[in-house]
C-alpha cells in the first residue's frame, strides 16, 4: 500500500516537473512497467563508484555519460535475475541507442557469469561487476533484481524492483517516450 502511494506521488511529482513528458509517459506505465517507480525529478547523478569488467579492469558509469542507461543489478544465484537476463539482451539488440548494463553485484565468480552467459546465449550485453556491492548499497538495492533507468546525465529516472520482460512492447515504448522527453 505504502509503495503504491509512493509510486503515485513520485509519478505526480515527475510529471509536474516534466510537463512535456506527462502525455508521453502516464499511459505507458502498463503491464510489467506498472511496477516502475519514477524517481524524484530533482535527483542528482549517481555516485561514481569503481566497477570492474570481467577482466578486472576498472569501469565506471561515467563511461556511459550522454546515453540513456538501463542499469540492472543481478547475481548468478538469483533465479528471477537469470529469467530476465535474456529479455535485457533482446532489449539491447532492439534498442542499440541505449546502454543496457547488467551489474553482477556481490559474490559472482567470473567463471559462473561466463557459464551463465553461455547457457543463456547472451550476445549483446557487457557485464560489469560490483563485487563488494558498493554501488548497490549506495543506491539502496536490498534485493535482486533491481533495474534503474538513468538519463544521459546519469540521474535515476525510474526503478523497477523484481524481474520484467524488458524487451516487451510496453518497456520499449516507455524507454522511447523517456528519450523523446529529454
Average pLDDT value for residue range 54-69 = 93
Assess whether pLDDT exceeds 90 at residue 18: no
Q: What percent of the chain has pLDDT over 70?
A: 86
pLDDT of residue 24: 53
- What is the per-residue pLDDT for 46? 81
Q: Tell me the CATH number at 41.
A: 3.40.30.10
In a domain? residue 56:
yes
Q: What is the pTM of this model?
A: 0.84
pLDDT higher than 60, residue 130: yes
Domain that holds residue 129: 35-168
Question: Could you give the CA distance from residue 159 to residue 36 in angstroms, rounded to a whole number?
Answer: 5
Residues 70-124 have pLDDT tens digits of 999 999 999 999 999 999 999 999 999 999 999 999 999 999 999 999 999 999 9
For residues 165 and 84, the answer to whether their CB atoms sit within 8 Å is yes
* 47 backbone φψ class: left, alpha, beta (φ>0; ψ -120 to 50): beta
Of the candidates 161, 166, 160, 175, the residue with the CA atom closest to the CA atom of residue 122: 166
Query: Does residue 27 belong to any structural domain of this protein?
Result: no
pLDDT in tens, 22-37: 335 767 888 888 888 8
Whether 83 is covered by a domain: the verdict is yes
Burial label, 45 (beta-carbon count in 10 A; 0-12, 13-18, 19+):
middle
> What total number of domains does the chain contain?
1
- The confidence score (pLDDT) of residue 26 equals 64
β-bridge pairing 58-59 and 69-74: unpaired
In a domain, 118, yes or no: yes
Amino acid at each position: 500500500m505504502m509503495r503504491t502511494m509512493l509510486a503515485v506521488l513520485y509519478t505526480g511529482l515527475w510529471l509536474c516537473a516534466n510537463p512535456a513528458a506527462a502525455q508521453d509517459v502516464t499511459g505507458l506505465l502498463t503491464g510489467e512497467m506498472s511496477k516502475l517507480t519514477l524517481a524524484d525529478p530533482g535527483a542528482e547523478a549517481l555516485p561514481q563508484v569503481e566497477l570492474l569488467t570481467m577482466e578486472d579492469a576498472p569501469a565506471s558509469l561515467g563511461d556511459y555519460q550522454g546515453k540513456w542507461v538501463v542499469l540492472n543489478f543481478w547475481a548468478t544465484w538469483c533465479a528471477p535475475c537469470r529469467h530476465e537476463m535474456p529479455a535485457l539482451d533482446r532489449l539491447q539488440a532492439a534498442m542499440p541507442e541505449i546502454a543496457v548494463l547488467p551489474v553482477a553485484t556481490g559474490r559472482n565468480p567470473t567463471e559462473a557469469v561466463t557459464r551463465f552467459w553461455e547457457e543463456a546465449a547472451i550476445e549483446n550485453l557487457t557485464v560489469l561487476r560490483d563485487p563488494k556491492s558498493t554501488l548497490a548499497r549506495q543506491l539502496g538495492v536490498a534485493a535482486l533484481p533491481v533495474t534503474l533507468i538513468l538519463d544521459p546525465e546519469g540521474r535515476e529516472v525510474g526503478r523497477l524492483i523484481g524481474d520484467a520482460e524488458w524487451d516487451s512492447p510496453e518497456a520499449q515504448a516507455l524507454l522511447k517516450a523517456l528519450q523523446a522527453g529529454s
